[in-house]
Amino acid sequence: MPGIDETREFIPLNIAVLTVSDTRTYEDDTSGNVLAERIEKAGHKVAARRIVSDDRVHIRGALQAWISDKSIDAVISTGGTGLTGRDVTPEAFQSVYDKEIEGFAALFHRISYDKIGTSTIQSRATAGVAGGTFLFALPGSPGACKDGWDEILVHQLDYRYRPCNFVEIMPRLEEHKQRP
The pLDDT, as a whole number, for residue 55 is: 97
CA distance 159 to 151: 16
Range 14-168 has CATH code 3.30.465.10: no
What confidence category does residue 131 fall into, taking pLDDT thresholds of 50, 70 and 90? very high
Q: Check pLDDT > 90 for residue 126.
A: yes
pLDDT band at residue 29 under the 50/70/90 scheme? very high
Q: What does the pLDDT average to over 44-55? A: 98
**Amino acid identity of 171?**
P
Mean pLDDT of the region 71-88: 97
Per-domain boundaries in the chain: 14-168
Mean of all residue pLDDT scores within the chain: 96
Buried b / exposed e across 59-77, counting CB within 10 Å, b at 16+?
bbebbeebbebeebbbbbb
100 sits in which H/E element = strand 99-100
